[in-house]
Amino acid sequence: MRSLLPLTLLVAAGCQTLRYDLGSLPFPVSASPVRDPAAGDRFVFTAKHVLWVHGLAGESSPDVAGQLLANVLPCAGIADFRVQVGSSFHDWLATHLSLGFVRMKTVTVTGLRIRPR
């Protein structure tokens, strides 16, 4: 029974969410696909999410709203917005070489920038 508690804590520590706020953006953001894909340009950018010492020493989250402002302006809006979090080989290697004290993930943001009229 004692060995079950550390195992449960390790599994629960692997389940984390990425929080970002897009309410302050000066344009609408939608996950719905647009009917005319020629109305915009596709964009992709990546960033790193790092959890330091299981979150006890903090975390480094990417600024998704800031990246959108820097990369897609001017625009009338964003459609087909997606955020994916995963681990590349380098993320996996850094996480395991640090014995899990530094947990790295790659955040990929994609979407369709709708051109202003």
Cα–Cα distance list, 110 to 20, 47, 80 (Å): 15, 12, 8
Amino acid sitting at position 21 = D
Is the pLDDT at 111 greater than 60, yes or no?
A: yes
- The residue among 25, 23, 24 whose CA lies nearest residue 75 is 25
Confidence of residue 31 (pLDDT cuts 50, 70, 90): confident
**Cβ(84)–Cβ(107) under 8 Å?**
yes
pLDDT digits 0-9 by tens, 33-83: 888 877 788 999 998 888 888 767 777 888 888 888 888 888 888 989 998
Residue with the two structure tokens 């550390």: 6
Domain region containing 102: 18-114
CATH classification at residue 74: 3.30.110
Count of other CB atoms within 10 angstroms of residue 6:
9
pTM: 0.73
Q: Return the pLDDT at 15.
A: 53
Q: 47 in a domain, yes or no?
A: yes
Q: How many separate domains does the chain show?
A: 1
Rounded mean pLDDT, 20-34: 84
